[in-house]
Amino acid sequence: MTEPTTHTLEVPGVALTYDVREGGDATRPALLPIGSPMGAVGFVTLAEHFADRTVVTYGAGPGMARFIALVSHQGPLPADYVLPEPDPAMFGLPSADDGSRDDPLLGQNLISCTHYQHDLDGLATASTRIVLATGTTSAGTLASRAAVALAERLGRAPVSFPGGHDGFLGGEFSETGEPEAFAARLREVLGATA
């Protein structure tokens, strides 16, 4: 895998900065891991485990709109998208909900995320494969419960990944999950047929 090259994409109201790490096998789909409010720095270890693929990561910020702009800019390339949910403790926040909504994670994401209504018919009939996943140590958390509930509503079983919200981290944000096991499981899931 090459060293990352940084690119900038102008989208309405903001300049989106993203890194591209060229992989060794151009026939493999690109890997686009995204998270919010986590940016590219949170996926360094994960990218190292996928040297055979091109890995595209972007800077932190309001995730989905920027992610959609980046995907649109990259064009219709085959890609696998990974959307891990971060652990609040990674950002110096309490793991338990204290009711406040003035911190970066909860204030920016939690309210809009928990009120979002999925288009279940659209997801169920999408031409792309959608895999809902949870961390083995995240049972009972809001993100895990949401993944399990959505999987059930789509008539699918959720997939389990090693670790918790930080399973893919290898020291980023002073957190270390189980990056080798996480990457191996991700390869297994990405290689599975629909």
pTM over 0.85: no
DSSP string for the chain: -PPPEEEEEEETTEEEEEEEE--S-TTSPEEEE--SS--GGGGHHHHHTTTTS-EEEE-SSSHHHHHHHHHHHH-S--EEEE-PPPPGGGGT--SS--S---SHHIIIIIHHHHH----HHHHHT-SS----EEETT-TTSHHHHHHHHHHHHTT-PPEEESSSTTTT-BSGGG-B--HHHHHHHHHHHHHS--
**Under 8 Å CB-to-CB from 190, ≥6 apart: which residues?**
80
Regions in the chain scoring below 70 on pLDDT: 36-37, 59-79, 84-114, 193-194
Q: What is the pLDDT of residues 100-118, one digit of tens each?
A: 666 655 666 666 666 778 8
- The confidence score (pLDDT) of residue 173 equals 84
- The helix/strand/coil state of 56 is strand
Return d(Cα 40, Cα 32) in angstroms, integer.
10
pLDDT for position 120: 93
What end-to-end distance do the CA atoms of the chain give, in Å? 28
Q: So what's the pLDDT on residue 96?
A: 62
